[in-house]
Structure 1
Amino acid sequence: MKISAKAEYACLAVIALADRHQGDRPVPIREIAEAYEIPETFLTQILIRLKGAGLVNSTRGSSGGYRLARDPATISLGDVLRVIDGEGFQERPARRSTLDALARLWERIQASQVDILDRTTVAHLAAQGKTPDWTI
C-alpha cells in the first residue's frame, strides 16, 4: 500500500483535531502546520477537501480554524484516505503474476490493510499519542 504525502498530512491533521475535539475553540491551521511541519497552503487545500466531505467544519475570523464535524470515534483512517486519494488507495499495484494462488494472496493482504484502516479511528490514534496522567 502506498500512502501519498497528502494523505499522510490529512491523517495527521485529523488526528490533531481529534486530540483537541473536546475543546471549545477551533484549531487554527497554523497550529497544525507548525506542529507537524506541513506547508500551510498545502494543509489548507487538504482541510478544504475534508470539509467538503463533511469530516471537518471551519470557523472564519481571527479566532477561527477547524474542528471535526463529528465524534472522532466515528471517523476512520479509511474515511480520510478515501477523501484524499479516492478509492485508489485500496487498489493493489498491477503484478505480472499469472499464478492464481499468488494473486489471491495479494488481494487478501490488500483487503486486510483496508480493513485495518477502516477499523482504526482517529480517536484511537489521538489517544495513543497522549501520556497518561498518573495520580498516586
Structure 2
Amino acid sequence: MEISSKNEYAILALIELTAHYTSGEPLQIRQIAAQQQIPDRYLEQLLATLRRCGLVRSQRGAKGGYILAREPWKINLLEVLNCLEGAEAQSAESHVVPKTVESAVIWDAWQEAHQAANTVLQRCTLQDLCEKCNARRQLDIMYYI
C-alpha cells in the first residue's frame, strides 16, 4: 500500500489547519501551500473536495481562508481518505470473485490486510498527527543541542 501525492498533500494541508485550529483564524491557500510546499492550484482543488465532504469550511473576505469544519480529534484519516478516494472505490474491490482456491486464499489475506489498515486509519486523528509532528520537532531540537 502506498500513499498517493493527492492523499499526502491533503493530509499535509489538514495538519497545517490542525496546527492553527486553536487560533480560530482561517488560513489562506497560499499560506498552507508555502508552509507545506504544495502547488497552489492543486491545493485549491483538494480543499474544495475536503469542503464538499464537510472536513473544512471556507470563509470569504480579506481575512478569509480555510479552517477545519470540526475539532481535529474528531476527524480520522480513514474519513479523509474516503473523502478523497471515495468509499465506493474501496467497497467495489470487495465484489471481485476469486476464480481458484489459490486466488481466494490470496484475496482473503489481502482483505485482512486492508481491514487492518482501515482500523489503524480510523483510530488515527488529525490531532494525533499534529501531536506526533510536534513531538518529532522536539526530538530534532534536542538532537542538535
- For 1:20 and 1:10, the matched residues in 2 are separated by 16
Asked if structure 2 preserves the Cα contact closer than 8 Å seen for 1:26 and 1:66, the reply is yes
Match of 1:121 among 122, 125, 129: 125
- Structure index of larger Rg: 2
Q: What is residue 73 of structure 2 aligned with on the other side? A: 73
- Identity across the alignment (%): 35
Q: Identify if the C-alpha distance between structure 1 residues 96 and 28 changes in structure 2 by more than 3 Å, giving closer, same or farther.
A: farther
- For 2:90 and 2:38, the matched residues in 1 are separated by 21
SS at match of 1:58: strand
The count of aligned residue pairs is 131
Q: What is residue 34 of structure 1 aligned with on the other side? A: 34
Match of 1:107 among 93, 100, 111: 111
**More relative contact order, 1 or 2 (CA 8 Å, 6+ apart):** 1
RMSD (Å) for aligned C-alpha atoms: 2.1
User: TM-score with structure 2 length normalisation?
Assistant: 0.81
Superimposed CA distance per residue, residues 26-64 of structure 1 (whole angstroms, 9 cap, x where no aligned partner): 011111101111110110111011111111111112211
Q: CA deviation at 1:89?
A: 5.1
Unaligned runs of 5+ in 2: 139-145
Asked if structure 2 preserves the Cα contact closer than 8 Å seen for 1:2 and 1:89, the reply is no
Structure 2 counterpart of 1:44, one-letter code? E
Asked if structure 2 preserves the Cα contact closer than 8 Å seen for 1:57 and 1:67, the reply is yes
Q: CA deviation at 1:82?
A: 0.7
User: TM-score with structure 1 length normalisation?
Assistant: 0.85
Say whether residues 1:21 and 2:25 are aligned partners.
no
Q: Identify if the C-alpha distance between structure 1 residues 106 and 13 changes in structure 2 by more than 3 Å, giving closer, same or farther.
A: same
Q: CA deviation at 1:98?
A: 4.3
